[in-house]
Each structure stands twice: as structure tokens, then as C-alpha cells.
Chain A
Amino acid sequence: MNVLLFGITRDITGQSRLTVPADAGINTVAGLKDWLGVHYPGFKQLKSLAIAVDNEYANDEDAIGPAQEIALIPPVSGG
């Protein structure tokens, strides 16, 4: 599963995209958030985070699969 990263999530992970291994067994948005918190503890502090699945806003309970492209979009405030 390919994950695109934006804003502070790039600082948390140190990269602009990452791949979640298929054997991680993730099948919902909430499951992905849990996985991120385990592998990158900085995500535990990030309560406000929008997630897009195939370019569309997704809720925690929405199903996701390995073929889908995920994007992590935290709030950004500068100007």
C-alpha cells in the first residue's frame, strides 16, 4: 500500500512517501493510523489528520486495500 505524505507527516517520517507492507494486515483507515503510530511514534501526537483514499476523503471506518493509494494530509496553517 503506497502512502503519500504531506505537511508535518513528512517531518515525522523523514520521507515524502512510504510503503506499508502487505503482511501488515491493514484493512481500514483506523488500522492504518494504528500502524503508523506504532512505526512512527510522532503520529500519536497528531490527533488532527485527514486521510484520502484514492484522492477522496476517508473516514476511520472506511475499508482500504493494498491496491489503493493513501494520502496523509494534516492541517497546515502558514501564510
Chain B
Amino acid sequence: MPHNEFDNSNKFPDSESAGRYSRQVQLSGFGQSAQQKLKEARVLVVGAGGLGVPVLQYLTGMGIGTIGVIDADVVSLSNLHRQVLYNENDVGKSKVETAVNKLSKLNRQVSFKAYNQLLSVKNALEIIINYDIVVDATDNISTRYLINDACVISNKPFVYGAVQQFEGYVSVFNYLNGPTYRCLYPTPPANGEIPDCNTAGVLGVTPAIVGSQQALQVVKLITGIGKTLSGYLQIFDFLQDEQYKMKLKVRPESRQITALKNSYAEVVCNTVLKLSVDELFDWYESGKKFQLIDVRELKDFITGHLTGAVSVPYNQFNAGQIKVNAKEPIVMFCQKGARSNSTAQMLQQKYPQAEIYSVLGGMEYWEDEFDDEYMISPGLQNGGGGTV
């Protein structure tokens, strides 16, 4: 297809901005002055996934002047149920490049900057300084703390959004000396304390609602219309259709950040291979060789574990003590898939060449699908399982 098929620059000259934005400019209390503020604004969207996609689409449509988008991920099939800017032909392609390509066709008046990389301690401050507002549309806790600290240091407000299962969370942090993310959670949770990287699952439409709320907060920050969620955390329970709004408090010490930490233990989501329980079942059926490491607590392991599993309880897990056989994949296994994911990441960092999987949904999914197949239970010590 010719690249210029969507080049509408002749059809819609810049002078037609009034027509493009007429439906929002005509709003009482908005008008041409608010539209001009959007045009002059520079917004950085961190993450081009479930939250980032709707944020990017609406900020582009509404006419933000400059939009930066940073993400190192590529489109995968399991993204498409919620990241509907992408399509099946995009699987395997860079998210930021694909997104900017499509968004430019939505509104070529927007100036885009694509950063095909992770936000990191090394680049965060130098990138954020170029923007007025940051949107936290990430999927992991460590990048959220990095964004918080970089925004406090740079004195930039940021619009927070998060989803988990059927819940959504939105706030505006660090706006006009208001509360920050560290005022709510002063220190990060330990690895595995809460589900990270969408391991708990997410219903396709919920990040779209939260991301749209984030886009709304951005527009209110820029134009000054209405009130924002600065000082509040808004929680949506999409399953029960209930909302909860919590008033936040400023912790003065949380504002005393002068430098980034050396490391935020930057979690890179999606780098660990995922194995479904069906695939694992097929591996058993086919006699494939693999090493299964069960990181549940020992008492759970004793109650019942899969054939050949070795017990390394999560709180004793040390990547350096795992013997890696380059010829056999390693399969990390836990109750729900969160702790197997985080230990798989630790192991992958230690052994970049190894083939390491995390079993999606862990024992809960296994029992749902296969009940006690390949399960070793007490009194049936014949499966070669053991502890190290």
C-alpha cells in the first residue's frame, strides 16, 4: 500500500483546525483559548500498552501539540484484547513506532516523539524535562516509582493510572505541591508481594476506561477546566460498578527527593516466556525434558505438587543457587502465576541465555483444567519430586 494513502495534508490544511476541534471548542468554558493551551502542551506518555493506547488516541484526537511516547515492548497477540490501536499484522513490531505511525494518521497536526526504549534511571530526567505533564501508563511497580521520583525532582505533575483484574485506579500526583505516589505508598512492595506485569489478569475494556480517565485528567491539568483528581485516589470496581474516592495526605518527606536512586530494580514485563497450563500438560504428555521449580510455600508443596517438581519456596529463592542446565528449559511454578513470574525474571537476569518460563495461573489454573493429573500428593511419593 502506498505510504501516502493517508496523507491528507492537501485535504485538511492547518487553517481547518477550527473545524477539526469545533465540537470541543464550542463547549461552554472551553473555547479557543483552551484549545490553544492543548496545542502548546507537551505530554509524555510512559507505556504504549493497555492504558497508554487510549491515552494516546484521545490526546492525539483532542490536539495536544507535542506527544512523546516511550516503551521498549513489541506488540504481542495477548495485547490485542485491550490494546486496540494495534492489529494482528502488528504482532512483533515496535509498539511506539506502530502507535506513532497510526496516530499520525488520526491527527497530523500533532508532533510525535517515539522513544523505543525503557524509561530508566539513565534517561528518565533528560527525557521528562522536555514535557509539561507525564502520564504513568506503565504495567509495573518499579517504573511507577521511577516516574514518581523523576517527576518530583523535575517538578512535573503526573497522571497515574493502574488496573488489576476488575479494578481501576486514577490519580494526579505531584501537582502544585499536592501528594505524590510515595505519600500513598512510601516504599515499594517487595517482589511478589503484589501481582506485577498484569500477571493477575485484566479484562480488555477496563484499561480503556482508566486510560480515558487519565486523558481527561491531562486535559483538565492543561486547560484548567473543572477539578482534577490531585489529592485524591479514585478507585473503580468495574465488577460491582462501584467507586471509592480516597482523600490523600501530603507526607512532607516524600517531597524531599533530590536524586534518583541507583536502581529501581527495573522490572521488564513480558521478557519472561509464559507457559500456559495446557502447554505444560502437553510437555508432560510428550515426555519433554524440563526442570520444574515450584516456589510455593513448602506446606503447599507437600500437600500436592506436579510430577518432577522441585521445591524452592519463594522466600528462600536465590537465583544463584539454581542449577541451570542449558539443554532443558526451566519452568517456574507457583499458586497463581505472580511469584513464578518474578522469580523467572530474577533467574533470566542471572542466566540471560537460559530458556525460562513462568506458568500462567499456576496451580489454580492447573487444578481448574486438569484436577489431579500429574499431581503428586502425600503418601504417593513416586513422582521423583524433592526439595533442595
Q: Which residues of A contact B (CB under 8 A)?
A: 4, 6-8, 11, 16, 45-48, 50, 52, 55-57, 59, 71, 73-79
Contacts and interface: CB of A to CB of B under 8 A. Distances in A.
Contact of A79 (B198, B246, B248, B249): B198
Closest 7 A/B residue pairs (Cβ): A48-B189, A79-B139, A77-B141, A79-B51, A76-B164, A52-B246, A56-B247
Contacts of A16: 237, 240
Interface stretch (B27-35, B115-123, B180-188, B302-310): B180-188
B72 interface: no
Nearest to B194: A8
B49 A79 contact: yes
A19 B244 CA distance: 18
Nearest to B245: A55
Given A7-B164, A48-B187, A76 B194 contact: yes
Contact of A75 (B52, B194, B200): B194
B235 A6 contact: yes
B190 A47 contact: yes
Contacts of A4: 244
A11 to B, nearest CB: 8
Contacts of B50: 78-79
B189 A79 contact: no
B194 A48 contact: yes
A8 B195 contact: yes
B42 interface: no
B248 A76 contact: no
Contacts of A57: 183-184, 246-249
B194 A77 contact: yes
A77 B254 CA distance: 20
B169 A76 contact: yes
Given A55-B244, A77-B140, A46 B193 contact: yes
Nearest to A54: B247
A33 to B, nearest CB: 15
* Among A8, A56, A78, residue most surrounded by chain B Cβ atoms (within 10 Å): A78
A21 B139 CA distance: 37
Interface of B: 47, 49-52, 137-141, 144, 161-165, 167, 169, 183-185, 187-190, 193-198, 200, 202, 207, 233, 235, 237, 240, 244-249, 336
A74 B246 contact: no
Given A46-B194, A57-B183, A77-B140, 6 more contacts: A16-B240, A71-B244, A73-B246, A77-B138, A78-B196, A79-B198
Contacts of B198: 78-79
Contact of B193 (A47, A52, A56): A47
Nearest to B196: A77
13 contacts: A6-B167, A16-B240, A45-B193, A55-B245, A55-B246, A55-B247, A75-B189, A76-B164, A77-B140, A77-B141, A77-B194, A78-B196, A79-B47
A7 B200 CA distance: 10
B378 to A, nearest CB: 22
A55 to B, nearest CB: 6
A73 B164 contact: no
A58 B196 CA distance: 25
Contacts of B249: 56-57, 59
B202 A78 contact: yes
Contacts of B47: 79
B163 A50 contact: no
Contacts of B165: 78
Nearest to B181: A75
B138 A79 contact: yes
A8 B165 CA distance: 10
Given A6-B167, A55-B247, A56-B246, A78 B240 contact: no
